[in-house]
Amino acid sequence: MLHCCLFLSLLPFPGVRLSAETIKLCSFNIQIFGVSKMANSEVVSILADIISRADVTAIQEVRSRDITPVVQFMRLLPPNYAYVLGPREGRSASKEQFWVIYDATKLRLVGENTWADPEDIFERNPLGIYFQTMGKFDFILIDTHIQPANAAREIAAMPGVVKYYQELWNETDVAIAGDFNADGSYYDETALTAIFPETEYQLIITNGYDTTVAAGDNTYDRIIITASAFEDYAGLCGVIRFEETYDFTALTIQPRHVSDHYPVWAEFAIDADTD
Ligand SMILES: [Ca+2]
Ligand SMILES: [Ca+2]
Ligand SMILES: [Ca+2]
Ligand SMILES: [Ca+2]
């Protein structure tokens, strides 16, 4: 009986297939990445370890006037990792860049495009990237960092961004990954299912997850996929609570020095794709 229960507990949700080979997609707001953060070797080694355990990571909050910290960080990763760095985005003097780091032996970059935002809705225009895995799975990754004060309006505009990229690349599988600020005082998270109805989208990181290092319980960080990618989702996702993963008693830093956000992740089969 015990064996039976153990076995059942390993099964994914009904209807979700297990695939031998998967890719791990991560999203991580690394909080004000630039010269100062790069100077802290303990922080940087944890960031590098997390990112090198994923096959592709959508990063938010690169804040640097020049590319030097980005280039320095890439040297700490295994040589098979490549990246796309988006343009500097933001309405004030404080600019941010999206940064997508991926394992080039697992994923091939097919296209990259920053949303032009004709109605100027987004403070930081989302970055779309079209990836082909080494299996059948091809998909669009949208990296986003929703402005907290304007969360409802920016989130409501996101399905239009999805549609734009689907038409641009003639590809229906989309994973939106990023810091949505979709909880707490910024946003009523129960409103997400109206914007992303379950016939058309799946909220992989659902409202119960805590993605913040602070004591509060907020699901700011999200991975959301389109219906055609339901077949590709391998049924595995989570939040990396790095204070439980790394031994901070051996370090001089606190978990909050790594970031105020935890990374979120999801796995996708590379051979289930039919579109
Ligand atoms: Ca596809
Ligand atoms: Ca929540
Ligand atoms: Ca928390
Ligand atoms: Ca698909």
Which pLDDT score, from 0 to 100, does residue 1 have?
38
232 CA from centroid of ligand 1 (Å) = 8
235 CA from centroid of ligand 2 (Å) = 20
Which numbered ligand comes closest to the C-alpha of 209? 2
Which numbered ligand comes closest to the C-alpha of 215? 3
| Nearest alpha-carbon partner for 48 in 69, 18, 17 | 69
CATH superfamily of 19-269: Endonuclease/exonuclease/phosphatase (3.60.10.10)
Lookup: tokens for 137? 């799975």
228 CA from centroid of ligand 1 (Å) = 8
At 143, the amino acid letter reads D
221 CA from centroid of ligand 1 (Å) = 24
Contacts of residue 26, defined as CB under 8 A and 6 or more positions apart, other chains included, come to: 50, 51, 54, 56, 57, 58, 177, 240, 263, 264, 265
Contacts of residue 42, defined as CB under 8 A and 6 or more positions apart, other chains included, come to: 251, 252, 253, 257
137 CA from centroid of ligand 4 (Å) = 7
53 CA from centroid of ligand 1 (Å) = 23
2 CA from centroid of ligand 3 (Å) = 34
Which pLDDT score, from 0 to 100, does residue 9 have?
42
At 261, the amino acid letter reads H
Task: Give the C-alpha separation, 84 to 101, whole Å.
Answer: 7
Which numbered ligand comes closest to the C-alpha of 228? 4
Which pLDDT score, from 0 to 100, does residue 271 have?
97
Residue 109 · residue 87 · CB < 8 Å: no
Q: What is the mean pLDDT, run by run of 10 residues, along the chain of 275 residues?
A: 42 52 98 98 98 98 96 98 98 96 98 97 98 98 98 98 98 98 97 98 98 97 98 98 96 98 98 97
Residue 45 · residue 13 · CB < 8 Å: no
Which pLDDT score, from 0 to 100, does residue 16 have?
52
What pTM value is reported for the model? 0.93
